[in-house]
Amino acid sequence: MQFLDKIKSPQDLKRLDLAALKVFSHEIRQKLVEVTAQNGGHLAPNLGVVELSLALHYVYQTPEDKIIWDVGHQAYVHKMLTGRSDELNTIRQYGGLSGFPKRSESVHDAFGAGHSSTSISAAVGFALTRDLRGENHQVIAVIGDGAMTGGMAFEALNNIGHLQRRMIIILNDNEMSIDPNVGGMSEYLNRVRSDPSYIKHKEDIELLFKKIPTIGDKMFQAADRLKDSLKYLLVPGTFFEELGLKYFGPVNGHDLSALINVLENTKKLNKPIFIHVVTRKGKGYAPAEKTPDLFHGVSPFDIKTGQVLAPKRRPTYTDVFADTLIQLGEQDERVLGITAAMGQGTGINKFEQRFSQRAFDVGIAEQHAVTMAAAMALDGYKPVVAIYSTFLQRAYDQIVHDVALQKAPVVFALDRAGLVGDDGPTHHGVFDLAYLRHIPHMVVMAPKDENELRHMLYSALCYEQPAAVRYPRGEGLGVPLDEKLTLLPLGKGEILQQGQTVALLALGAMVTIAQQAAELLHRLYGLTVTVINARFVKPLDEALLLEQLSRHQLMITIEEHILAGGFGAAVLEMLSEHGAETQKVCRIALPDEFIPHGKTEILKEKYGLCAENVVQVAVEKLNLQKEAEGLS
Ligand SMILES: Cc1ncc(C[n+]2csc(CCOP(=O)(O)OP(=O)(O)O)c2C)c(N)n1
What confidence tier does 257 reach under pLDDT thresholds 50, 70, 90? very high
What number does the ligand 1 atom closest to the CA of 394 have?
Answer: 1
d(CA 81, CA 76): 9
Backbone φ, ψ for residue 227 (5° rounding): -60, -45
CA-derived radius of gyration, the chain: 28
Which of the four CATH numbers 3.40.50.970, 3.90.1200.10, 3.40.50.2300, 3.40.50.10860 does domain 10-203+245-290 have? 3.40.50.970
Give the distance (Å) from ligand 1 centre to CA of residue 131.
Answer: 30
Give the distance (Å) from ligand 1 centre to CA of residue 294.
Answer: 14
How is the beta sheet containing 246-252 ordered, strand by strand? 66-69, 139-144, 167-173, 272-278, 246-252
Q: Considering 102, 130, 202, 394, which one is annotated as catalytic?
A: 394
Q: What is the pLDDT of residues 292-305, one digit of tens each?
A: 999 999 999 999 99
Q: What is the pLDDT of residues 44-57, one digit of tens each?
A: 999 999 999 999 99
Q: Which residue has the higher pLDDT, 388 or 189?
A: 388
Q: To which H or E segment does residue 557 belong?
A: strand 552-562
Give the distance (Å) from ligand 1 centre to CA of residue 140.
Answer: 19
Give the distance (Å) from ligand 1 centre to CA of residue 71.
Answer: 6
Residue nearest to atom 21 of ligand 1 (CA): 45
Residue nearest to atom 22 of ligand 1 (CA): 178
pLDDT for position 192:
85
C-alpha torsion sign, points 154, 113, 302, 320? negative
What confidence tier does 199 reach under pLDDT thresholds 50, 70, 90? very low
Share the mean pLDDT of the chain. 93
Assign domain 494-627 to its CATH architecture. 3-Layer(aba) Sandwich (3.40)
Whether 366 is catalytic:
yes
Residue 632 clears pLDDT 50, i.e. is over it: no
Q: Which residue has the higher pLDDT, 224 or 139?
A: 139
What number does the ligand 1 atom closest to the CA of 117 have?
Answer: 1
The model carries a pTM of 0.93
What confidence tier does 191 reach under pLDDT thresholds 50, 70, 90? confident
Exposure string over 330-343, b if 16+ CB within 10 A, otherwise e: eeeebbbbbbbbbb
Give the distance (Å) from ligand 1 centre to CA of residue 3.
Answer: 31
Q: To which H or E segment does residue 168 belong?
A: strand 167-173
Q: Considering 202, 280, 281, 416, which one is annotated as catalytic?
A: 281
Q: What is the pLDDT of residues 601-617, one digit of tens each?
A: 999 999 999 999 999 99
What confidence tier does 197 reach under pLDDT thresholds 50, 70, 90? low
Residue nearest to atom 11 of ligand 1 (CA): 177
What confidence tier does 235 reach under pLDDT thresholds 50, 70, 90? low
Q: To which H or E segment does residue 510 belong?
A: helix 510-525
What number does the ligand 1 atom closest to the CA of 146 have?
Answer: 16
Does the structural domain 317-470 have CATH classification 3.40.50.970? yes
pLDDT for position 234:
54
What confidence tier does 631 reach under pLDDT thresholds 50, 70, 90? very low
- What amino acid is encoded at 432 in this protein? D
Residue 628 clears pLDDT 90, i.e. is over it: no
Residue 213 clears pLDDT 80, i.e. is over it: no
What number does the ligand 1 atom closest to the CA of 427 have?
Answer: 25
The domains spanning 10-203+245-290 and 317-470 adopt the same CATH topology: yes
Q: Report domain extents, the chain.
A: 10-203+245-290, 317-470, 494-627
- What amino acid is encoded at 490 in this protein? L
Residue nearest to atom 17 of ligand 1 (CA): 144
Q: Where are the beta strands (DSSP E) in 211-279?
A: 246-252, 272-278
Give the distance (Å) from ligand 1 centre to CA of residue 220.
Answer: 46
Mean pLDDT (whole number) for 145-157: 96
Give the distance (Å) from ligand 1 centre to CA of residue 292.
Answer: 13
* Length of the chain counted residue by residue: 632
What number does the ligand 1 atom closest to the CA of 279 have?
Answer: 21
Q: What is the pLDDT of residues 86-109, one digit of tens each?
A: 999 999 999 999 999 999 999 999
Whether 448 is catalytic:
no
Whether 34 is catalytic:
no
Residue 343 clears pLDDT 90, i.e. is over it: yes
Residue 507 clears pLDDT 80, i.e. is over it: yes
Which residue ranges have their beta carbon within 6 Å of ligand 1?
45, 48, 71, 73-74, 115-116, 144-147, 172, 174, 176-178, 281, 296, 340-342, 364, 366, 391, 394
- For 18, 228, 236, 253, 561, the CA distances from 276, given in Å and listed in that order, are 22, 21, 10, 9, 41
d(CA 224, CA 235): 15
Q: Considering 27, 366, 452, 559, which one is annotated as catalytic?
A: 366
HEC letters along 312-373: CCCCEHHHHHHHHHHHHHHHCCCEEEEECCCHHHHCHHHHHHHCHHHEEECCCCHHHHHHHH
Mean pLDDT (whole number) for 481-490: 98
Residue nearest to atom 4 of ligand 1 (CA): 364
Residue 359 clears pLDDT 70, i.e. is over it: yes
pLDDT for position 577:
98
**Most informative mutation of 178, 189, 277, 295 for ligand 1 (most atoms within 8 A of CB):** 178
What number does the ligand 1 atom closest to the CA of 148 have?
Answer: 15
For the chain, give the percent of residues with pLDDT over 70: 93
Residue 434 clears pLDDT 90, i.e. is over it: yes
Mean pLDDT (whole number) for 232-256: 86
Mean pLDDT (whole number) for 383-393: 98
Mean pLDDT (whole number) for 330-358: 98
Give the distance (Å) from ligand 1 centre to CA of residue 250.
Answer: 21
What number does the ligand 1 atom closest to the CA of 145 have?
Answer: 16
Stretch among 206-220, 418-432, 467-481, 519-533 having the lowest mean pLDDT: 206-220
What three-state secondary structure class fits 501?
strand
d(CA 332, CA 319): 20
d(CA 5, CA 84): 10
**Most informative mutation of 42, 116, 296 for ligand 1 (most atoms within 8 A of CB):** 116
Give the distance (Å) from ligand 1 centre to CA of residue 438.
Answer: 29
